[in-house]
Structure 1
Protein backbone atom coordinates (compact mmCIF):
# COMPACT_ATOMS: atom_id res chain seq x y z
CA UNK A 1 0.00 0.00 0.00
CA UNK A 2 1.27 3.46 -0.86
CA UNK A 3 0.84 6.43 1.50
CA UNK A 4 -1.58 8.03 -1.01
CA UNK A 5 -3.75 4.88 -0.88
CA UNK A 6 -3.79 4.95 2.92
CA UNK A 7 -4.71 8.64 3.00
CA UNK A 8 -7.49 7.98 0.50
CA UNK A 9 -8.85 5.11 2.63
CA UNK A 10 -8.77 7.29 5.75
CA UNK A 11 -10.70 10.23 4.25
CA UNK A 12 -13.98 9.05 5.77
CA UNK A 13 -12.48 7.78 9.06
CA UNK A 14 -13.35 9.42 12.36
CA UNK A 15 -10.23 11.47 13.24
CA UNK A 16 -10.65 10.36 16.88
CA UNK A 17 -10.69 6.64 15.99
CA UNK A 18 -7.83 4.50 17.33
CA UNK A 19 -5.59 2.94 14.67
CA UNK A 20 -5.00 -0.78 15.25
CA UNK A 21 -2.69 -3.17 13.44
CA UNK A 22 -3.68 -6.79 12.88
CA UNK A 23 -0.87 -9.12 11.80
CA UNK A 24 -1.51 -11.83 9.22
CA UNK A 25 -3.23 -14.92 10.61
CA UNK A 26 -3.74 -13.25 14.01
CA UNK A 27 -6.99 -13.38 15.95
CA UNK A 28 -8.94 -10.11 15.86
CA UNK A 29 -8.42 -9.71 19.62
CA UNK A 30 -4.64 -9.63 19.00
CA UNK A 31 -4.80 -6.27 17.21
CA UNK A 32 -2.36 -3.73 18.65
CA UNK A 33 -2.63 0.04 18.75
CA UNK A 34 -0.28 1.85 16.38
CA UNK A 35 1.60 4.28 18.63
CA UNK A 36 4.44 5.39 16.37
CA UNK A 37 4.82 6.37 12.73
CA UNK A 38 8.31 6.67 11.28
CA UNK A 39 8.93 8.26 7.90
CA UNK A 40 12.18 6.55 6.96
CA UNK A 41 14.59 8.96 5.29
CA UNK A 42 16.92 6.30 3.85
CA UNK A 43 15.81 4.37 0.79
CA UNK A 44 15.18 0.68 1.52
CA UNK A 45 15.24 -2.32 -0.81
CA UNK A 46 12.08 -4.03 -1.98
CA UNK A 47 12.50 -7.64 -3.11
CA UNK A 48 9.93 -9.71 -4.96
CA UNK A 49 10.84 -13.35 -4.55
CA UNK A 50 9.45 -16.43 -6.26
CA UNK A 51 9.61 -19.84 -4.58
CA UNK A 52 10.14 -23.09 -6.46
CA UNK A 53 6.38 -23.76 -6.27
CA UNK A 54 5.66 -20.39 -7.94
CA UNK A 55 4.49 -18.42 -4.90
CA UNK A 56 5.46 -14.74 -4.76
CA UNK A 57 6.54 -12.97 -1.57
CA UNK A 58 7.74 -9.44 -0.91
CA UNK A 59 10.55 -8.52 1.46
CA UNK A 60 11.59 -5.01 2.52
CA UNK A 61 14.82 -4.16 4.32
CA UNK A 62 17.39 -1.38 4.76
CA UNK A 63 19.83 -1.19 1.86
CA UNK A 64 22.86 -1.86 4.08
CA UNK A 65 21.50 -5.34 4.90
CA UNK A 66 22.42 -6.50 1.37
CA UNK A 67 20.41 -9.21 -0.33
CA UNK A 68 18.17 -11.40 1.78
CA UNK A 69 18.90 -15.06 2.51
CA UNK A 70 17.96 -17.24 -0.44
CA UNK A 71 18.19 -14.42 -2.99
CA UNK A 72 18.06 -15.86 -6.51
CA UNK A 73 18.98 -13.40 -9.28
CA UNK A 74 17.33 -15.64 -11.89
CA UNK A 75 13.83 -15.52 -10.35
CA UNK A 76 13.88 -12.61 -7.90
CA UNK A 77 13.72 -8.84 -8.46
CA UNK A 78 14.76 -5.90 -6.30
CA UNK A 79 14.46 -2.12 -6.48
CA UNK A 80 14.89 0.93 -4.20
CA UNK A 81 11.76 1.82 -2.19
CA UNK A 82 10.81 4.60 0.23
CA UNK A 83 8.97 3.29 3.29
CA UNK A 84 6.94 4.42 6.29
CA UNK A 85 6.95 2.23 9.40
CA UNK A 86 3.94 1.86 11.72
CA UNK A 87 4.63 0.21 15.06
CA UNK A 88 3.09 -0.30 18.50
CA UNK A 89 6.44 0.33 20.21
CA UNK A 90 9.29 2.79 19.76
CA UNK A 91 11.64 2.24 16.85
CA UNK A 92 14.58 1.72 19.24
CA UNK A 93 12.70 -1.13 20.97
CA UNK A 94 11.74 -2.67 17.62
CA UNK A 95 15.34 -2.51 16.36
CA UNK A 96 16.83 -3.93 19.58
CA UNK A 97 14.30 -6.81 19.56
CA UNK A 98 15.30 -7.57 15.98
CA UNK A 99 19.00 -7.83 16.85
CA UNK A 100 18.64 -10.06 19.92
Structure 2
Protein backbone atom coordinates (compact mmCIF):
# COMPACT_ATOMS: atom_id res chain seq x y z
CA UNK A 1 0.00 0.00 0.00
CA UNK A 2 2.84 2.41 0.81
CA UNK A 3 4.52 1.84 -2.55
CA UNK A 4 1.31 2.78 -4.41
CA UNK A 5 1.07 6.01 -2.42
CA UNK A 6 4.72 6.89 -3.18
CA UNK A 7 4.26 6.19 -6.91
CA UNK A 8 1.23 8.49 -7.02
CA UNK A 9 3.21 11.30 -5.38
CA UNK A 10 6.09 10.85 -7.83
CA UNK A 11 3.75 11.15 -10.82
CA UNK A 12 2.50 14.57 -9.68
CA UNK A 13 5.97 16.14 -9.74
CA UNK A 14 6.67 14.75 -13.22
CA UNK A 15 4.35 17.26 -14.91
CA UNK A 16 6.55 20.26 -14.22
CA UNK A 17 9.70 18.48 -15.30
CA UNK A 18 8.02 17.44 -18.54
CA UNK A 19 6.96 21.03 -19.29
CA UNK A 20 10.46 22.26 -18.47
CA UNK A 21 11.92 19.63 -20.81
CA UNK A 22 9.65 20.73 -23.68
CA UNK A 23 10.61 24.38 -23.14
CA UNK A 24 14.31 23.43 -23.14
CA UNK A 25 13.95 21.42 -26.35
CA UNK A 26 12.13 24.29 -28.06
CA UNK A 27 14.82 26.76 -26.93
CA UNK A 28 17.58 24.52 -28.26
CA UNK A 29 15.78 24.09 -31.59
CA UNK A 30 15.25 27.84 -31.86
CA UNK A 31 18.89 28.78 -31.22
CA UNK A 32 20.44 26.01 -33.32
CA UNK A 33 17.98 25.70 -36.22
CA UNK A 34 15.38 28.44 -36.58
CA UNK A 35 17.42 31.56 -35.76
CA UNK A 36 20.39 30.76 -38.07
CA UNK A 37 18.00 29.98 -40.92
CA UNK A 38 16.24 33.32 -40.44
CA UNK A 39 19.59 35.14 -40.50
CA UNK A 40 20.60 33.35 -43.72
CA UNK A 41 17.25 34.21 -45.31
CA UNK A 42 17.71 37.89 -44.43
CA UNK A 43 21.21 37.86 -46.00
CA UNK A 44 19.86 36.31 -49.21
CA UNK A 45 17.03 38.86 -49.35
CA UNK A 46 19.52 41.71 -48.78
CA UNK A 47 21.75 40.39 -51.60
CA UNK A 48 18.80 40.12 -54.00
CA UNK A 49 17.68 43.66 -53.20
CA UNK A 50 21.20 45.07 -53.75
CA UNK A 51 21.87 43.35 -57.10
CA UNK A 52 23.77 45.45 -59.62
CA UNK A 53 24.89 44.92 -63.19
CA UNK A 54 28.02 42.76 -63.40
CA UNK A 55 27.45 40.88 -60.14
CA UNK A 56 28.40 37.18 -60.36
CA UNK A 57 25.41 35.01 -59.43
CA UNK A 58 24.10 31.45 -59.40
CA UNK A 59 20.53 30.74 -60.43
CA UNK A 60 18.25 28.40 -58.50
CA UNK A 61 18.89 25.79 -61.22
CA UNK A 62 22.66 25.93 -60.65
CA UNK A 63 23.61 28.05 -63.67
CA UNK A 64 26.53 30.42 -63.11
CA UNK A 65 26.60 33.82 -64.76
CA UNK A 66 26.72 37.57 -64.30
CA UNK A 67 23.86 40.03 -64.04
CA UNK A 68 23.33 41.91 -67.30
CA UNK A 69 20.20 43.87 -66.40
CA UNK A 70 17.48 44.06 -63.74
CA UNK A 71 13.78 44.71 -64.37
CA UNK A 72 12.20 45.80 -61.09
CA UNK A 73 8.71 46.12 -62.61
CA UNK A 74 8.65 42.43 -63.62
CA UNK A 75 10.94 41.32 -60.76
CA UNK A 76 13.27 39.58 -63.24
CA UNK A 77 17.00 39.53 -63.86
CA UNK A 78 18.81 38.97 -67.18
CA UNK A 79 21.82 36.74 -66.51
CA UNK A 80 24.63 36.34 -69.04
CA UNK A 81 25.74 32.70 -68.89
CA UNK A 82 27.96 32.56 -72.00
CA UNK A 83 29.08 34.72 -74.91
CA UNK A 84 25.86 36.12 -76.48
CA UNK A 85 23.69 33.89 -74.25
CA UNK A 86 21.38 35.70 -71.84
CA UNK A 87 18.61 34.08 -69.81
CA UNK A 88 15.84 35.83 -67.92
CA UNK A 89 15.13 34.46 -64.44
CA UNK A 90 13.02 35.49 -61.49
CA UNK A 91 14.88 37.77 -59.10
CA UNK A 92 14.07 35.48 -56.15
CA UNK A 93 15.91 32.56 -57.79
CA UNK A 94 19.26 34.38 -58.01
CA UNK A 95 21.86 33.77 -55.31
CA UNK A 96 25.38 34.94 -54.50
CA UNK A 97 28.18 33.11 -56.33
CA UNK A 98 30.46 32.11 -53.45
CA UNK A 99 33.20 30.80 -55.78
CA UNK A 100 33.86 34.05 -57.62
CA UNK A 101 35.90 37.01 -56.54
CA UNK A 102 34.18 40.38 -56.16
CA UNK A 103 34.30 42.64 -59.19
CA UNK A 104 36.73 45.54 -59.08
CA UNK A 105 35.17 48.91 -59.93
- Structure with the larger RCO, 1 or 2 (CA within 8 Å, 6+ apart): 1
Q: One fold, TM greater than 0.5?
A: no
- Tell me which structure has the larger Cα radius of gyration: 2
TM-score of Structure 1 vs Structure 2, range by shorter chain: under 0.3
